Each structure stands twice: as structure tokens, then as C-alpha cells.
Amino acid sequence: MTVNTATPDYIVDGVLTDGEAWVALGTATPSSANVTFTSSTGANDWSQYMDLVIICYARSVGTGTWKNITTTFNNDTGFSYQNQHLYGNGSSAGAGVTNPQYTGLAYIAGAGATANVFSAVKYDIFDINSGKYKYVHTISAADSGNPDTVWTEIGTWESQAAITEIDLVTSSGFAAGSRFDLFGVLPRMVS
Amino acid sequence: MAIIEAIETVYLEADTASVTFSSLGSYEHLQIRVSGRHNSAGGAGHTIYIRFNGDTGSNYSTESMQGYNGANTGADPYANQAFVYAGGRITGPLTPAAENYGASIIDIPDYANANKNTSMQQRSGTTLDYSSGSYNWFSGSVWDNTAALTSILLYPPSGSFLRGTTISLYGIKSS
């Protein structure tokens, strides 16, 4: 895990300057482990961002051709999440609504998928420091062979708390070669 | 050199009928990110309407696909509209939780090109925007006009954006 705690580039000698709206906050390269991102200091102090984005390329150690990733915020594992998904698996499309103990459900290749196949997932997490419920858009594509699945989800964490931790979990952990890149998205207030 | 720059964030401190971005900068592509709710009495979740360059003619068309209200799926055309339909999804007064604001991402590529119609894609959704209603909505739209974009108007079909709505415009540069 690498975490960017440097003084943000958009602050020069204490003066706010226009800079990159996406700030690279951290990268996780797990091996048979799950992933936790946590707010800390410097650029990785999440209180300064409007949104967060996670770009993921992952495979699970879990058995079978595909596995799920689930997402929780601030260690909340209660039934605090609402999700509406839409998917296609090569032969049919479907949708559904769930109220589980997680959000950000995504499908990735499992240990039984073709060797070297990893899956792409993107998370957009909105207005993370507001007093609103927190929304996450998830889109994933798993060329896992049985079935190949594209899965999208709109999820809500029913909490007004600022997001300070994100846990991404799959059965038995993520395989070596997986990577997760976290970005903070800055706002720009114009008077 | 920054590749993605924040052009402007609008945080609504009061209910506001519409938001207009008229300084679009010099970029290759634009992205708008919305966390929004409307205040139209009796209204549940609804779309965001969008117009470009003040054009009120029937010059906008949209195709959408969606998963909604549980296991329902659908695909709909909205041809020759006077606005971009399905520009995004926002919650409303019938949404049970006042803290629930819908989330949308709107991508507008090559917006400054004066030789092509403007095409765009939108991804948006709401959970529990009324009763058990939820939306996971993809849409693509075209403005049948080759002019370069100079302004972008976003507004709810009726009423106003609710206080607390945030709308951010980002510019994406090329090499």
C-alpha cells in the first residue's frame, strides 16, 4: 500500500493555486488480502475532496470462476445500504434492488477463471463530506468465462457521516497482481 | 500540466431554479458531477434537463436504458425534445429521507468542436427516491447543432434544485 501524505500540489507557500482536480491518494496491491483505504494527512486528508474515485483491476483468490467485491464505509456493517443494480451476462439482462450490509457490489474473476484474467471495476463516490447520504456508482466487467458479466450498481450508504474509511472485500482476498488506485476529486468554488 | 481541472463548483445555499455554466474554458472534454434534489411539490425522483447555448428548439434526442424499482428493466427514446432528457437523476420531496440526493455523471466530449453535433453520455441513479423506487440509469444524448458549446443550462422539470445540491464542472485536457 502506498499513500500520498505529501503537502498537496495545489497549495504553494500556503496559497491555493489551480491544479489537478484529481489527486492520486493511494495505491493498494494486495496479495491474498482485502483492501482498506483510510483518510490520514496531507493530500490523503479526505476532508478536502468533493468526490472519491477508485479504479480497480482485480482477481479474487476465492474458488469459482467469479467472485464479488463488496464495499463498506467507516466500518459500518449494518443494514445501512440501499442498492439498485443492472446487469448483463451474455444471454440476458436483469435488474434488482437490495438492502444488504454493503454497497458497491462488483463482479470479478475468481481463482477458477482463465489464468491471468483480471476484471475492471470503477467506483465513483459522491459528496463524501456532506451531511447527505453517500452515493456510489459502480461498474464492473468480469471476463471470467462462466458467466461473463457486466454489472452496474447505484448504491447509497444511509449515513450523514463523512467518509473516512473504505473497505473492499472479496472471498479469500484479492490475488497477487490486483491493484486499486484511489483518487480525490477537488471542487472549485468560484466567487 | 494538469490534465483534469475543476472549472467551477456550484453549491446551492438556497433553492435555485437552474444552474448555468457559461465559462467553459479551453479543454478537450467536459465532465459534470451532480449530487442533487428538487423541491417540486408532490414530486418523486426525476430527471435533470439540459440545454446548450440557450437553444430552446426541439433539437435534442436521448436514448436511455435503466434498471428500476427492483427487477424492472427498460429502454426508452426521447426524440426531438427541447432539452436533453435523462441528463441525470435527482431525488424529490416524495423521497422519504431528506438526506437522499441523487448522483449523476455527465460526460461531454469534444465540446469545443464547431464541426460536429454534440453527443454526450450520462450515468445517474437514485435509491428509494419514492416508496421502493430506485433508478440505475444510463443514457446518451445528442444536440443536433454543430456549434461549439458556450453555455450549459441544467434545471429540474418543475420546481427548483433544492438547497444543498452541488454541481461541479470539470475540464479534461488532451496531450
Minimum distance, in Å, between the CA of residue B140 and any CA atom of chain A: 16
A vs B, Cβ pairs < 8 A, gives: 137
In 3-state terms, what secondary structure has residue A42? Answer: helix
What local confidence, expressed as pLDDT, does residue A130 receive? Answer: 97
pLDDT range class, residue A11, cuts 50, 70, 90: low
Using a CB-CB cut-off of 8 Å, the residues of chain B touching A153 are: 136
- Cβ atoms within 10 Å of A47's Cβ, excluding its own: 11
pLDDT value of residue A17: 65
Domain holding A162, by residue range, is 26-39+49-185
Reported as a single tens digit per residue, the pLDDT across A71-98 is 999 999 999 999 999 999 888 999 999 9
How far apart CA A45 and CA B56 sit, in angstroms, is 43
Of B63, B46, B41, B34, give the one whose Cα is nearest residue B157.
B46
Nearest to B125 among A84, A130, A132 (CB): A84
In this predicted model, what pLDDT tens digit does every residue of A116-170 receive, in sequence order? 999 999 999 999 999 999 999 999 998 876 678 899 999 999 999 999 999 999 9
Whether residue A175 lies inside any domain: the answer is yes
- Residue A8's pLDDT is what? 78
For residue B5, give the amino acid letter: E
| pLDDT greater than 70 at residue A14 | no
The three-state secondary structure class of B120 is: strand
DSSP B87: S
Q: Which of chain B's residues have a Cβ under 8 Å away from the Cβ of A82?
A: 127-128, 134
Is residue A15 in some structural domain? Answer: no
Alpha-carbon span B21 to A15, nearest angstrom: 26
Kindly state whether residue A13 falls inside one of the protein's structural domains. no
Give the mean pLDDT of chain A: 93
| CA–CA gap between residue B97 and residue B162 (Å, rounded) | 14
Count how many domains chain A has.
1
Q: Name chain A contacts of B138, Cβ cutoff 8 Å.
A: 86, 152
pTM above 0.90, yes or no: yes
- B4-172 CATH pick, 3.40.1000, 2.60.120, 2.60.40, 1.25.40: 2.60.120
Return residues 160-179 of A near B (CB < 8 Å): 160
A162 DSSP 8-state letter: P
ipTM surpasses 0.90: yes
The phi and psi torsions of A6 (rounded to 5 degrees) equal: -65, 160
By C-alpha distance, the chain A residue nearest B163 is A132
Q: Does the distance separating the beta carbons of A153 and B136 come in below 8 Å?
A: yes
Of the partner residues A51, A84, A152, the one whose CB lies closest to the CB of residue B33: A51
Question: Are the Cβ atoms of A155 and B99 closer than 8 angstroms?
Answer: no
- Judged by a CB distance cut-off of 8 A, whether residue A24 touches chain B is no
Domain ranges in chain B are 4-172
**Residue A21, CA atoms < 13 Å, CB-side half-sphere:** 24
Q: Name the pLDDT band for A189 (thresholds 50, 70, 90).
A: confident
- CATH number, domain containing residue A61: 2.60.120
Question: pLDDT value at position A146?
Answer: 66
pLDDT for the residue B1: 66
Q: In a structure prediction context, what are the per-residue pLDDT tens digits for chain B, which is 175 residues long?
A: 679 999 999 999 999 999 999 999 999 999 999 999 999 998 889 999 999 999 999 999 999 999 999 999 999 999 999 999 999 999 999 999 999 999 999 999 999 999 999 999 999 999 988 877 899 999 999 999 999 999 999 999 999 999 999 999 999 998 7
